Every structure is written in structure tokens, then in C-alpha cells.
Amino acid sequence: MMVNEPSAVQPSATPDDPARVAEFEARIARGESIEPKDWMPERYRKQLTRMMSQHAHSEIVGMLPEGNWITRAPNLRRKMALIAKVQDEAGHGLYIYCGTETLGTDRQELVQQLLDGKAKYSSIFNYPTLTWADIGCIGWFVDGAAIVNQTMLAKASYGPYARAMVRICKEENFHKRQGYEIMATLANGTPEQRAMAQDAVNRWWWPSLMMFGPHDAESSNSEELVRWGVKKKGNDELRQRFVNLTVAQATAINLTLPDPALQYNEQTENWDFGPIDWDEFWRVVKGDGPCNRERLAARRDAHAAGEWVRVAAAAYAAKQQRSATEAA
Ligand code: BYC
């Protein structure tokens, strides 16, 4: 719930002292965890707030494409799993917003940036979910990609973010398995179901590779984030790891990844893959993807519809506070 709470730490306005920065970097080099009340360079705080808030927004916006299918899930078991998954994503979002609050930015401010269209969230959620197979594909590819990325972030230098990732990855594993099971079932089904599964794979494969962000050479933040131990690996290495894992999974259920250039490279022991359409990526990131406007409109509607909950929660918190003061 978005109750107005005081931020744990207020960012300082003073410039960073080089000696303190050096000591901070030495702590990172020793593998120590940075905690909310520890001193940190303002740039580290800013970078983490940027990345964590984008991540939290992704979890919240990511509920929308899957939420669209709750009423159309093909049976009770699938419906229960999907409701649970969407609810998990809300939990992930709130958990990470709490993490950003430990850096001194109120979650209401971050949510407002999202509603104003000023904040980024993962490009992947700006694609439509046209059939039930898309729900399987999101679990398999999107949660699969998230696991590869977030398993690394579970070792990030900022304690609250790293700990959030440990818990979130456990849930993502369940999400991925339920998605893969949907795809395996469809791939083994009628010719129409097989075709539906293959069509979803064709549409979701490339956007899933884009989730990892631009090539390292184009990644404006990677160098700094790797130096400060937030990112443990670059975008390209994680993307490659995801490709390597997914090729075998696709083969096992007899679905074809839509890339004629996909080929095992004996020398590097990786699966080489074709070029990514970065024009499409940046178009989506900049707000002009297939569903950017729809997603933002749905999020704004949901936020407005939840206003009474926030008002009630704030009134309840104030009442509790009054009772506690009177009892003291
Ligand atoms: N989409 O310097 P770079 C989930 C931006 S949700 C949009 O490489 P960085 C789930 C980037 O922000 C899981 N924007 O950035 C939920 C930067 O712009 P700014 C989502 C992207 O931060 C519901 C610029 O491009 N996971 O699993 O070093 C249902 C240059 O990029 C994207 C996370 O959020 C993108 N794909 O690395 C189902 C993981 N990629 O801010 C499932 C946490 C890049 O400088 N985040 N940009 O203006 C990360 O690991 C990193 O932030 C990224 C990007 C790898 C995404």
C-alpha cells in the first residue's frame, strides 16, 4: 500500500569526499554489503534508485499483459496459477519500491513519475498478449530472462536490493516452470495448439532478448554499475547465457526459435544468434511500442481506482498512531 512514510535516509546535498569514495570502493572490492545507513556516493544512490525504480515499475506494469488473461484461462488450475503469479508480481514491485525508499526516495514520487510517463520500465511489457500461448511464453521467456538477470543481482552490492532478488528469484522459478509447462502442453496438443505455441514463440523471442538491454558498448550505465558491484555481469553475457539455456528447452518441446542464424559455436561453446533489431528496441523504450499507451492508460486507471484504498490505509495508520500516543 502506498502509505506516506518518512524516508529512511535523506540524500545529502554535499559533494562526495574523494577519501570517502575511496573507502566506499574498497568496501565494495572486499565484497561487503552496503546497507541503507552506510555512507555512499550520491551517484551510487542515484544509479540504484534509477535501476531499482525501473525494476519495480516493470513488475507492476508487467501485471497488465498477464492480468488480461485471468478471466480467459482455459481451466481452474491454470487460472489459479495465473492469479497467483500476477499477485506475486505485485509483491515484487512493492518489495522493490520499499528498497528504493531505503535510498531516500518516497515511493509516491516514483509512482508519480511512472504515471506521468517520465519513468522507464522493461520494454517487454509493451507487447500484446494475443493468445493463451502468450501467457506460457511470458512465463518461459520473460521470467526465464528475469531469472538469469536477477540471479546475478542477488549478489549486488546494495543489501536491500540483493536480498529482494533472492526471494523474488525463488518465485520467478515457479513462474517460469508454469509457463514452460503451458508451452509443453500446447506443443504436444492439436495442430492448432501447436501453431498457437509456435506463433507466440515467434513473437516473443526477439523482445525477450532485448530485455537484457543494449550491447555493452552502447550501455551508458554498465561500466559504473559493474565497478560498484551492482551489476555483476554485462548485458551481453547475460543475454548469451539466456540463449544458451533456452535453445535446449525449445528443442525438448519441439518448438523452433525464430532465428535462422542460431548455431552452436564449438569454439566459444555458445549459441551464436542473429542481429537484434535495436531500432525497434529504442522505439519501444521511447514510448512508441505496440502497447505503450495502452499500458500507461491501464496503470493510470488502476491507480485512480485504488485511491480509496490509499485514503483508507492512511486514515487507519493515523488512527493507530493516535491510539498509541494516547496510550503512552
Ligand atoms: N527496457 O545502460 P543500460 C519481470 C534502458 S520484471 C527499457 O544498459 P542498465 C516480470 C536503461 O534503463 C523484471 N529500458 O542500462 C514482471 C537505460 O536508460 P536510462 C524486469 C531499458 O540499467 C511481471 C538505457 O536503456 N527486470 O520479470 O545498466 C511479469 C541504457 O541501458 C531496457 C529488471 O528490471 C529495457 N529492456 O541495464 C513477468 C532487472 N534495457 O535509465 C515478469 C533490473 C535498457 O539511463 N534491471 N534500458 O535512461 C537491470 O538489470 C538493468 O537495469 C538492465 C539495463 C539490464 C535492464
Pocket of ligand 1 (CB under 6 A): 50-51, 54-55, 58-59, 62, 66, 89, 120, 122-123, 138, 142-143, 146, 149, 210-214, 219-222, 225, 235, 285
Q: What are 147's three cell numbers?
A: 531469472
Q: How many whole angstroms from 328 Cα to the centroid of ligand 1?
A: 47
Nearest CA to ligand 1 atom 23: 62
Give pLDDT tens digits along the chain (328 positions): 344 444 445 455 567 889 999 999 999 999 999 999 999 999 999 999 999 999 999 999 999 999 999 999 999 999 999 999 999 999 999 999 999 999 999 999 999 999 999 999 999 999 999 999 999 999 999 999 999 999 999 999 999 999 999 999 999 999 999 999 999 999 999 999 999 999 999 999 999 999 999 999 999 999 999 999 999 999 999 999 999 999 999 999 999 999 999 999 999 999 999 999 999 999 999 999 999 999 999 999 999 999 999 999 999 999 999 999 999 8
Please give the full DSSP string across 89-140, using - where no structure is assigned.
HHHHHHHHHHHHHTTT--HHHHHHHHHTT-S---GGGGS---SHHHHHHIII
Separation CA 88–CA 119 (nearest Å): 22
Distances in Å between the alpha carbon of 218 and those of 50, 118, 215, 222, 282?
18, 22, 5, 9, 12
Model confidence, pTM: 0.94
Exposed/middle/buried for 304, CB within 10 Å: 0-12, 13-18, 19+?
A: exposed
The residue to mutate among 47, 49, 51, having the most atoms of ligand 1 within 8 angstroms of its beta carbon, is 51
Nearest atom within ligand 1 for CA of residue 54:
34
Q: How many whole angstroms from 313 Cα to the centroid of ligand 1?
A: 31
